[in-house]
Amino acid sequence: MTDLRDQVVEDRGVIKKIQLLFPGYHGYRINEDLRDADVILKDELYKKMLDVITNLKTGESSLVSAGQFKGLESIGALRSRIQSAAEIVKHHGAGYSGISAPIRVDAKKISALYDLDMKIFDQIQNLQKSMNLFVQECMSGGIDQSKMQDIISTLSAITDLNNSRETLLYGGV
């Protein structure tokens, strides 16, 4: 994935470019552009998580069509867990950089948040790969518990990365 921070800078309109000329707005504009890139990235992460859920539903449907009902409850629980993780990723804080923010978030910190979200992106790609393997097994009429465990481990990695976001953003406040 291309670095969205560069894309946001390239897409600045006239007003944003003018803001960069004024000392009081210069830092604010840079921080807001970084924040916008992170928000765009988070939306993309959320969409990718929803794609994983859609893929899992395909495997679930294949099992039902084959009359394989054993294990569907664990697949439902897995789907719920992925949905929860997707919602958390979508709604975690982006770090407000405004003039009167209660906690100051500078460009370095916002950029670090973006880098953290890119690590989450990498883990979501791993999740997609693990899910593809799991769904292939479901389409063959079975549930491979080791592949399900790979998915759960990757979800845990995503959750851990997401939890570290709050510490990075607020320093454990």
pLDDT tens digits for 152-170?
A: 999 999 999 988 877 887 7
Q: Residue 67 class from Cβ within 10 Å (0-12 exposed, 13-18 middle, 19+ buried)?
A: exposed
Integer Cα distance of 140 and 59 in angstroms: 9
Query: Per-residue pLDDT averaged across 105-123, rounded?
Result: 88
Structure token digits, residue 3: 């670095």
Q: Which two tokens stand for residue 123?
A: 């883990």
The two tokens of residue 121 are 């992106």
Cα–Cα–Cα angle for 97, 159, 80, rounded to 5 degrees:
115
The residue among 50 and 94 whose pLDDT is bigger is 50
* pLDDT for residue 17: 66
Query: Buried (b) or exposed (e) across 16-27, using 16+ Cβ within 10 A?
Result: eeebeeeeeeee
* Residue 64: pLDDT band with limits 50, 70, 90: very high
Residue 20 confidence (pLDDT): 62
Q: Give the span between the Cα atoms of 164 and 157, in whole angstroms.
A: 11
The pLDDT tens digits of the residues spanning 10-26 come to 777 766 666 666 777 77
pLDDT tops 90 at residue 1: no
Q: What is the largest CA-CA distance in the chain?
A: 67
Indicate the burial class of 139 (C-beta count within 10 angstroms; 0-12, 13-18, 19 or more).
middle
Residues of the chain with pLDDT > 70: what percent? 83
pLDDT of residue 102: 55
- The predicted model gives 29-48 an average pLDDT of 87
pTM value is: 0.81
> Rounded mean pLDDT of 65-78?
90
